[in-house]
A and B are shown apart, each in its own frame.
Chain A
Amino acid sequence: MSAPPTNPSKSWTVKVREKGVEALPPERLLPDGQPTYVASWIYVFGVASIASLIVIIGSGCILALKGPAWWHFTGVGHFFNSIHMWSVELFFFAMVVHLWGKYWMASWRGGRGRVWVTGAITFLVAVPAALTGYVSQQNFDAQWISTQAKDGLNSVGVGAFFNVTNFGQMYSYHILLLPIAVVGLVSAHVLLVRRNGVVPPFEIDTKKAAIAATSPDRGGPPPPPPSTATGAQS
């Protein structure tokens, strides 16, 4: 067996790997379980949003393969268009309930600011992702929405480079640019949740603060054994 190298590697792949494992060790990236406080319905809506997003991407890929007019003249196309539309409805429904729950939990606590910000930006980016879909329908609904939206967008000065009456531009935004942004942000959001852990209830934070205030560093008793810590696995 050879001895480990004494000089640090200059390879960028090694550096990226080491940084990645340091930030997200495998047992944290794919944990055995979650803390017991996660056993609550309010924690379900984040994964419900992700499940909806997977259906959106899957049905959207099928619609993209067949072209934007397919759903107008075939029953199967109409079916997949409906799957796509209703999964978007569920995505926003679940995401808004998730957002409300996390807002009232103050889920940016404990150094989770980036988790909160990536989630909020995902919501903001998902809105134009949906709007560009509505104006890509190629029907009277799309015409109505685009001609209404153009006035609003022109009033804030973005109509010159985000033209909702330009089908090609809107379709490109809808099936490429904005989905990449949403999926990238959701991926970052999930990885940050894995890194920082799910935000605990306020009561547990208060208990942790009380324990920290009486820790040996400050002359208090030693901390409790790990079995009573907040990170106990369910």
Chain B
Amino acid sequence: MSMAAAIVNLNHPAHTVDWGFIHLSVANVVVIGLMFVVFFAAILLPFPGAAERAAARRGGGAS
């Protein structure tokens, strides 16, 4: 059977980021960047229902 072609052209050497002894593929740099974005978003974004739960707790009610 024939395999579907890749949606991007992969027929070339990988693009890399080089900084001193650090040698990373661009794909890995993108993933690491995404992990940082998700990490800070997880800290900063409010969790659905968290404020209501905290208010219910302060009011002595159980949710």
Binds B, one of A73-81, A163-171, A182-190: A73-81
Assess whether A42 is in contact with B35, with CB atoms less than 8 Å apart.
no
State the main secondary structure of chain A at its contact with B. helix
Contact with B along A97-127 (1 / 0, CB 8 A): 1001100000000000000000000000000
Q: By the criterion of a CB under 8 Å from any partner CB, how many residues of chain B are at the interface?
A: 20
- Are A39 and B57 in contact (CB-based, < 8 A)? no
* Chain A residues positioned under 8 Å from B60 (CB to CB): 227
Q: Are B50 and A42 in contact (CB under 8 A)?
A: no
Which residues of A192-234 have CB atoms within 8 Å of chain B's CB atoms? 227, 232-234
Task: Tell me, in angstroms, the Cα distance from A73 to B3 when the chains sit together.
Answer: 9
Residues of B within 8 A of A100 (CB): 35, 39
Interchain nearest-CB distance for A234 vs B (Å): 5
Cβ of B6 within 8 Å of any chain A Cβ, yes or no, is no
- Total count of chain A residues near the partner, CB < 8 A: 21
B8 within 8 A of A: no
A39 touches B42 (CB 8 A): no
Residues of A within 8 A of B1 (CB): 73-75
User: Which residue numbers of A lie inside 8 Å of B, CB to CB?
Assistant: 36, 39-42, 44-45, 73-75, 78, 89, 93, 96-97, 100-101, 227, 232-234
